Structure 1
Amino acid sequence: MSDYIFIAGKRDEKRLSSRVLEETIHQHVKRGNRKLEIQAFGQHGIGGRLWESAPDRMDIRIIGHSGQRTGSLGTPNTRIEIMGPASDDIGWLNAGAQIIVHGSASNGAMNGAAQGKVFVGGSIGARGMTMTKRNPRFEPPELWVLGSAGDYFGEFMAGGIAVICGLNAANQEQVLGYRPLVGMVGGKVFVRGEAKTYSDKDAKEVELDDQEWEWLLQGIKTFLKKIEKPKLLEELAVRKDWRLFEAKNPQEKADGPDRKSMSWFREQVWDMELGRGGLIGDLQETEKGTVPVITKGEYRRYIPVWEQGKYISPCQASCPTGIPVQQRWAMVRTDNIDEAISMGLEYSPFPATVCGHLCPSPCMASCTRNLSYMTPINVRLLGQAAQNIKPPKPAKESKKKVAVIGGGPGGISAAWQLTMKGHTATVFEAGQTIGGKISAVIPESRIPADTLNAEIDRIKSYIKDIRLGETIDAEKFAEIKKSHDYVVVAAGAKKPRSLPVKGADRALFANDFLEQAKADKIKPGKKIVIIGAGNVGCDVATEAHRLGAVDITLIDVQKPAAFGKEREDAEKCGAQFRWPLFTKEINAKGVLLEDGETLEANTVVISIGDVPDLSFLGEEIELDRGFVKVDDAGRSSDGKVFAIGDAVGPGLITDAIGAGRRTATVIDQLLNGQAPDMAGLTLAPMIDTQRVSLTYYNPRQDADNLEECGQDCASCGNCRDCGICVSVCPEGAISRQEKEAGFEYVVDESKCIGCGFCKGACPCGIWELIPNTPLM
């Protein structure tokens, strides 16, 4: 171990991208270091393309979790040893490396290999040894597997040798999995066990002669030594257990019982069906011999269509506020960074606070890069950059007045949007500051105070009439409704749910605890029990830890709903999550559970949610289980009153902000004498993520600044003008054309063969293939 140079796959507790790790390895190789131990965290391509080391011996040992394509394009004299299992495409396009895997390997082992050897101490997944090659000037590629192979083994195998030992195979009759050796045209496969579903049209079983057996026996000895299991030799060295398969030669394939000549096919099938008098012959216009071998133009089966802007990106579709994330990154790519940052204020008054820090970022969770095991584009960078941007200029003043009851995220969002549209929005807030729970209870560990303060100041400079300390009762609400054109109820959920157990009055409610903690007005003691293990409960845990608690327990009657950064922060503080636990009593010792266990605590906090206090609305506005009942436009049973956010139902901060924007749009339409256009508020359908292909697109793994993120965004649903479709078109049928407003990619039908390469390679998912209209 001491002669190996250690390379960590993390730096400052952050995982290195595959590209950075590969560059680090190459730097060591260039300096003459020939023995490296890599601590991997899923990075791809480790140990491949080490041309700098030739002709020296290169040893690489991988600990941890190697990613896909380990040893891809591996070079002769390179030895790679993986101390555990291997991911997809081990030895992909191997050109000479020796790779030892001490565990199992997943799909695509030795896919496309031309030289080198791979030794696997377990089993392999599907499509192992597919499309292998053989150059007669070099030794053939070899794959040795101790266990069994997955489905479609040896598909289109064109050379090389595979040895599948079948040790402890789950199905001894299918050691090579389902349908192996389909399309096999070269190479050999030694199998210890059965392969009953192999393609007998392409492969055949041959006798294992003495020379072949001697080669196999010596190879087994070497193989077992490589994977450090020499004691298995006696079990594997039984000649009668082994079978040998080879590819059929062209003559053997042609001489099969079902062989038909081309002339027979032409006369009995083609002409009978397409000729005059056939089933469809009278419908076609072409004469015999006029259809080209590769059809173009009107004879294509499929036509490529450039569907620019027809679908929205997954990130935008998953954003509750509807921010067109993809458009913002397109602006960054064209160096309109300030415009991209400012766009955030068109959709939210809290772009830095919420988008940059508090939002769980469903947009990032839906990023198509996740499908290719890459980190998603970091949208939070755009949000955080918006801290000090100036608000937009409002439209011309309309003299219309809208009251907003509640100065939380939803209410401020509605007031912000109404102000942008030129209307006078008056915010009535019961507290002494706006922002609702963002300002009052969310810990500063989750959002910097200067960020929140900057955005609060910007909001106050924009929305001129904000009235603090305004407690609304039925009489006050009636006055407000009478003096304003419309009212938006965004009162939030400030009334905590309690537990119907003895001693519940001994506990604090979560929001009360957080509000006191934020002001450093509470000392929770060393032990705290939090009843309710959601994200708010996690905030309680992190604040309690900050204030000195060391024994922190969150309990729930079901699997905790906490997720994301809140849960991560709580776990970093040492908080324990326990479920399912049922509270029987809260007493001086702590929490007594129904099973008799007592959880000792200096402080007990109840965090099981909040409900809105809507007593001021009166009976004329219909409620549903304590929430305002609204239609799709956010309108209540009183046509003059709208409701959003937690007053309608629990949700994320971003849900409330998005609802505020939609409701403000509907009110603006009504104030302008228009009927509410809900269709105009509905986004286009989301693009099918299967249309997005990153195969020919090579972004960074971990872009960490705005410029890199803009370049690496695949721009799902909107063409990023990368030109990949032009490059991959085999007929040169696609060209880029300038338009008065932008550009478009067009297809020359006289060249296009409808192959679909453009669709398969497009990182944006713009191209679609549609069936051609039948000739009439």
Structure 2
Amino acid sequence: MEQQSVTIHGFENGHRVQSRILEERIQRAVTQGARALTVEAYGQHGIGGRLFLSRKEPVTVRITGSPGQRTGSMGFPGTKIIIEAPTSDDIGWLNAGAEIVVLGNAGNGAANAMAQGKVLVSGNIGARGMTMTKRNPKYDAPEMWVLGSVGDYFAEFMAGGTAVVCGFEPQNPDNVLGYRPCVGMVGGRIFFRGPHKGFSLADAKLEPIDDAAFAWLTDNLRTYLAAIGRPELYDTLAVRDDWQCILARSPYEKTGKKRRAMREFRAGVWDAELGRGGLIGDLDDSDRSPIGLIVNGELRRFVPVWENKKYLSPCQASCPTGIPVQQRWQLVRDGLMDEAMDLALAYTPFPATVCGYLCPNLCMQGCTRSVGNLMPLDTALLGKANAKAGRMPALPPLSGKRVAVIGGGPAGMSIAWQLRLAGHEAVIYDLGDKLGGKIAAAIPATRIPKDVLDAEIARAQEILPHIQLKEALGKDAFAQLVTDYDFTVLAVGANKPRLLPVPGKELAQPALTFLKAAKKGTATVGKRVVIIGAGNVGCDVATEAARLGAASITLIDIQTPASFGKERKDAEAVGALFKWPCFTKEITAEGVTLQSGELLPADTVILSVGDVPDLEFLDDTIATERGHVKVSDIYQTTNPKVFAIGDIVKPGLLTQAIGMGRDAAKAIIDIFAGKRPCEDTRKMIDYRRAKLEYFDPRIMEFNDLNSCASQCSSCGACRDCGLCETICPTGAISRQAKDGKEFEMVSDPAKCIGCGFCANACPCGVWSLVENAPLV
């Protein structure tokens, strides 16, 4: 990424920019490649913090003007902040690695709770500096350098790191350490130069400065003075006899007690007073040898269990088609793009058309990242990538079993597709001259590229036999199909428009009729269009009406419109107006009259209140309810040789129709195999099991598959990251290869101490910590 320098202003158009807005601009600039930033501050807080970059890509933030509190808070390694003025309170609060240079005085709370990094002050600081600092031994200790003196309560509860108080031109020449320093100090050290008026002797002590400590001090003193622009002071400050050092007292120094071994306590106190074995010594003669403080094997309180793929990931559980989305992202991470595309074809004949363009992406809505306030993965990118996947799935030889599928829409094609992939012949009967149903005949071309749709339908037609019906199916013809085939599947959808019982309803055009005509290029509309029904179909009607020349488009509904997603946005983009609640009284040549008496002028009225199935061809062996076919859990009707799926059972999304087809196909395949049909009984994994701390919270959009795949936590399915193996303190976890690409993570009970690090660190949530079975 090309580096660049930018200036970000904290005062615009006569107004101060909010701190949050200023931080967003800084984050955006760094994300876009800026590595040298000048920030003209106007009292904004937290400037320069949380810039999560690699140490190999350092960023420098130069602050002019007057920064607010907590400048550089939660700073990250690789960030350098130079403040060309005095600064406010809590400079470097929770600093985790940034180097912060203050060319002036600093306020209260400087370096408060700092864990890494440096705060270099060229003047004095206020009260409670270097408080509650800490140190991780794996990283460099935090440092704070002050040229002058410090305020009251300095180093309060200090627990790590090094503070250097140079005492040069201090604000209080008689006391460079302020009032009551080092109270509660438990770690770290303080080099200081100049007079003081005491510190907490209960918590800290003076120690001589040995050669190694003074070498560290003078080496870093030169670097510090160069950073604040005062290198000429080195000879003045580098006089060994001028410096003193304070260290924290150990716990044993504070209490005055010596460390006592447990073996000594048992022999000298426990057994001496209670006898060997304590209170029950006379009742039990079992082995009483001491048990180690850290136990393994049968003595563990908890045992880790690798539960790989025991639970469904939220994306897969939310997808009606059941596509294992996290498995596809794993294949992308492994560089197996063809395999990722092929996997989708095992679940749907429309991986690009539906998953990439038409689906509202329920998997994204269920994504764990969205629950954790992160940007959900863009699975539409996966779907659109499938448009370039032209490989035909491998087809097994036909088994001799035959299934008739009535209806060539998404549901019918889905079940026929699954049956053929399993080796059974599925013949589709449909009135259309090509497969696809409403996808091909009614959904506007603006929603799905024609070449993508044509390619997927052509791929399906290549392997699925299709018989075009010359006329609507009658009772006799349907009965004959049931007789001729092993099973018959009803997938005719809902194609009969529902009409409103109002005067003038014949003047309104059904939405489905209009959309089909628009797709064929034969539809026309007037300048003023009123659409009764403001769902997603109504929105499709609105965008097509605008394309055909309508200037005024109004969608009305009796309740809050149910439309959402891209369809709603596209309708609003062409200027469509939504109006509710509206109750239609009548439809006339002038337009739509509401029960309120209001007239909505219209040249064209389109009715979009839903469609119902045509069930006239069914016989009395198939039960119906409220205009739809009744089915069992496996989509079997009251006639055991007939299944029903899609809108003929229940109105729903395209993905739900495809999912019904896949589930019904699985039931039929099980029956053919002589097995009892069963469904996937796995539950969805608890969102809390996945750990999102490893992923970048700043990502606001995904532009390619690889960036998307890298941010997937792979909930419930091990992503083979090796983190559990790495983090285990006893080396108990190992990866064991199995057949093919399969593997298993195994915990050795002889080494495992049941600490739970594996379960607490696993991003996928596949490790569980269960209570150990009691010894018998």
TM-score by length of 2: 0.69
Which structure 2 segments of 5+ residues have no match?
1-5, 11-23, 86-91, 103-111, 121-130, 136-140, 148-155, 162-182, 188-249, 257-263
Match of 1:300 in 2: 300
Check the 8 A contact 2:51/2:79 in 1, yes or no.
Answer: no
Match of 1:243 in 2: none
Match of 1:462 in 2: 463
Mark the structure with the bigger radius of gyration. Answer: 2
Q: 1:750 to 1:609 in 2, by over 3 A?
A: same
Give the whole-Å Cα distance in 1 for the aligned partners of 2:282 and 2:363: 53
Check the 8 A contact 2:307/2:768 in 1, yes or no.
Answer: yes
Match of 1:352 in 2: 352
Give the whole-Å Cα distance in 1 for the aligned partners of 2:367 and 2:676: 32
Match of 2:521 in 1: 520
Give the whole-Å Cα distance in 1 for the aligned partners of 2:569 and 2:396: 43
Report the AA paired with residue 597 of structure 1.
E
Match of 1:693 in 2: 691
**CA offsets, 1:709-766, max 9 Å, x none?**
4444322222111111122223333233333443322223344332222112111111
SS of residue matched to 2:746: strand
Match of 2:476 in 1: 475
For 1:643-722, what aligned pairs fall within 5 Å after superposition? 643-672=644-673, 674-678=674-678, 681-696=679-694, 701=699, 702-722=701-721
SS of residue matched to 2:760: helix
Check the 8 A contact 2:27/2:51 in 1, yes or no.
Answer: no
Match of 2:63 in 1: 58
Give the whole-Å Cα distance in 2 for the aligned partners of 1:689 and 1:56: 38
Match of 1:151 in 2: none
For 1:81-230, what aligned pairs fall within 5 Å after superposition? 93=96, 137-138=144-145
Match of 1:34 in 2: 38
Match of 1:761 in 2: 761
Q: Structure 1 vs Structure 2: percent identity of aligned residues?
A: 45
Give the whole-Å Cα distance in 2 for the aligned partners of 1:539 and 1:627: 25
SS of residue matched to 1:426: strand
Give the whole-Å Cα distance in 2 for the aligned partners of 1:360 and 1:614: 29
SS of residue matched to 2:322: coil
Report the AA paired with residue 746 of structure 2.
V
Report the AA paired with residue 686 of structure 1.
M
Match of 1:377 in 2: 377
Give the whole-Å Cα distance in 1 for the aligned partners of 2:395 and 2:749: 49
Give the whole-Å Cα distance in 1 for the aligned partners of 2:116 and 2:582: 55
Q: 1:97 to 1:576 in 2, by over 3 A?
A: farther
Give the whole-Å Cα distance in 2 for the aligned partners of 1:17 and 1:414: 51
Check the 8 A contact 2:756/2:769 in 1, yes or no.
Answer: yes
Report the AA paired with residue 695 of structure 1.
E
What's the offset of the Cα at 1:410? 0.6
1:421 to 2:422 alignment: yes
Check the 8 A contact 1:735/1:745 in 2, yes or no.
Answer: yes
Check the 8 A contact 2:531/2:607 in 1, yes or no.
Answer: yes
Which structure 1 segments of 5+ residues have no match?
8-15, 63-67, 82-88, 100-108, 118-128, 141-154, 161-182, 188-248, 256-261
Check the 8 A contact 2:536/2:567 in 1, yes or no.
Answer: yes
Give the whole-Å Cα distance in 1 for the aligned partners of 2:285 and 2:654: 62
What's the offset of the Cα at 1:773? 2.4
What's the offset of the Cα at 1:490? 0.6
Give the whole-Å Cα distance in 1 for the aligned partners of 2:62 and 2:285: 65
**CA offsets, 1:305-349, max 9 Å, x none?**
222222222211111111222222333333332122122222112
Report the AA paired with residue 729 of structure 1.
C
Match of 2:587 in 1: 586
**CA offsets, 1:386-415, max 9 Å, x none?**
335233243222333321111111111122
1:22 to 2:30 alignment: yes
Give the whole-Å Cα distance in 2 for the aligned partners of 1:398 and 1:760: 49
Give the whole-Å Cα distance in 2 for the aligned partners of 1:354 and 1:676: 31
Match of 1:165 in 2: none
What's the offset of the Cα at 1:463? 1.2
Match of 2:494 in 1: 493
**CA offsets, 1:200-251, max 9 Å, x none?**
xxxxxxxxxxxxxxxxxxxxxxxxxxxxxxxxxxxxxxxxxxxxxxxxx999
Give the whole-Å Cα distance in 2 for the aligned partners of 1:19 and 1:480: 64
Give the whole-Å Cα distance in 2 for the aligned partners of 1:284 and 1:329: 59
Give the whole-Å Cα distance in 2 for the aligned partners of 1:698 and 1:282: 60
Q: 1:378 to 1:363 in 2, by over 3 A?
A: same
What's the offset of the Cα at 1:613? 0.7
Check the 8 A contact 1:426/1:467 in 2, yes or no.
Answer: no
Match of 1:364 in 2: 364
Give the whole-Å Cα distance in 1 for the aligned partners of 2:292 and 2:157: 28
SS of residue matched to 2:596: coil
Report the AA paired with residue 668 of structure 2.
I
Deviates more, 1:370-379 or 1:346-355: 370-379
Match of 2:321 in 1: 321
Report the AA paired with residue 683 of structure 2.
P
Match of 1:738 in 2: 737
Report the AA paired with residue 541 of structure 2.
V
**CA offsets, 1:454-512, max 9 Å, x none?**
11212221112332444111122122222222211111001122222222222222111
Match of 1:561 in 2: 562
Q: 1:475 to 1:367 in 2, by over 3 A?
A: same
Check the 8 A contact 1:369/1:376 in 2, yes or no.
Answer: yes
Check the 8 A contact 1:317/1:683 in 2, yes or no.
Answer: no
Number of residue pairs matched by the alignment? 622
Give the whole-Å Cα distance in 2 for the aligned partners of 1:17 and 1:426: 59
What's the offset of the Cα at 1:74? 9.4
Check the 8 A contact 1:556/1:582 in 2, yes or no.
Answer: yes
Check the 8 A contact 2:355/2:380 in 1, yes or no.
Answer: yes
Match of 1:240 in 2: none
Check the 8 A contact 2:365/2:376 in 1, yes or no.
Answer: yes
SS of residue matched to 1:617: coil
Give the whole-Å Cα distance in 2 for the aligned partners of 1:136 and 1:716: 40
**CA offsets, 1:358-410, max 9 Å, x none?**
11111122222223433333323333233352332432223333211111111
Give the whole-Å Cα distance in 1 for the aligned partners of 2:59 and 2:364: 42
Give the whole-Å Cα distance in 1 for the aligned partners of 2:483 and 2:7: 80
**CA offsets, 1:76-110, max 9 Å, x none?**
745699xxxxxxx99664857699xxxxxxxxx98
Match of 1:618 in 2: 619
